[in-house]
């Protein structure tokens, strides 16, 4: 399993536009009278989803900015050709808090290859990482595709990501499920170091 932004690609959002998006999502939450305990973009989005107010409008805002960044500032953190080769011989999942429109824009720009067995985006989940739902959805598809017919506690599944939200989602999954054995492996945020494919294949620790 791979996270996307910060792991496989860097959307490289300009700081001024990040601040602009953060302000717009916060203003939306205030207008909808949704209490916030954190002013990060995704935590505010999660609060809107939980409240059941303003989530659709927030999703449209996030899509608008993410697609712009995917088209104008994003860069790959691993060679798309190398990643495509890995995906052609491995069952892998993409688990991202970005939207499906962002994934499509990155793909259109040649920054992210096809070939993932499943792609779990914020459009597919009621909860984002660090909630375990995105991981659980990805594991369910990997489980169905397992050669033995199901993943067991002896099967090791790696989650390669760059953030605490990735790690906490894996930890939350492991508290509720014994199989498969899920392990989080961290790469440096938006750095491409170590190479995510090398991490996934065990070439580096």
Confidence (pTM): 0.94
pLDDT in tens, the chain (205 residues): 999 999 999 999 999 999 999 999 999 999 999 999 999 999 999 999 999 999 999 999 999 999 999 999 999 999 999 999 999 999 999 999 999 999 999 999 999 999 999 999 999 999 999 999 999 999 999 999 988 878 888 899 999 999 999 999 999 999 988 889 999 999 999 998 999 999 999 887 5
CB 153 within 8 A of CB 129: no
Q: What is the residue range of 43's domain?
A: 15-72
Residues 32, 88: one domain? no
Q: Would you say residue 10 lies in a domain?
A: no
Q: Would you say residue 1 lies in a domain?
A: no
Which residues, in sequence order, are CB contacts of 27 under 8 Å at separation 6+? none
Residues 88, 110: one domain? yes
Q: Would you say residue 7 lies in a domain?
A: no
Structure-token match 């970005």, residue found: 98
Q: How far is Cα 180 from Cα 158, in angstroms, rounded to an integer?
A: 10
Q: Which of 6, 40, 72 is the last residue of a domain?
A: 72
Q: Would you say residue 188 lies in a domain?
A: yes
Q: Would you say residue 3 lies in a domain?
A: no
Residues 37, 103: one domain? no
Domain count for the chain, please give it.
Answer: 2
């Amino acid at each position: 399993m791979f996270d996307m932004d910060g792991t496989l690609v860097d959307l490289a959002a300009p700081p001024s536009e990040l601040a602009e998006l953060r302000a717009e999502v916060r203003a939306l939450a205030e207008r909808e009278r949704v209490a916030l305990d954190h002013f990060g973009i995704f935590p505010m989005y999660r609060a809107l989803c939980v409240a059941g107010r303003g989530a659709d409008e927030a999703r449209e805002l996030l899509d608008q900015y993410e697609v712009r960044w995917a088209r104008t500032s994003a860069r790959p953190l691993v060679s798309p050709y190398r990643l495509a080769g890995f995906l052609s011989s491995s069952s892998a999942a993409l688990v991202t808090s970005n939207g499906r429109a962002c994934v499509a824009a990155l793909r259109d720009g040649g920054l992210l290859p096809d070939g993932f067995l499943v792609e779990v985006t914020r459009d597919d989940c009621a909860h984002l990482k660090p909630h375990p739902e995105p991981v659980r959805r990805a594991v369910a598809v990997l489980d169905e595709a397992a050669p033995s017919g199901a993943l067991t506690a002896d099967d090791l599944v790696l989650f390669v990501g760059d953030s605490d939200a990735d790690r906490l989602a894996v930890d939350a999954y492991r508290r509720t499920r014994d199989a498969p054995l899920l392990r989080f492996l961290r790469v440096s945020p938006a750095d491409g170091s170590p190479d995510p494919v090398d991490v996934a294949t065990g070439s580096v620790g």
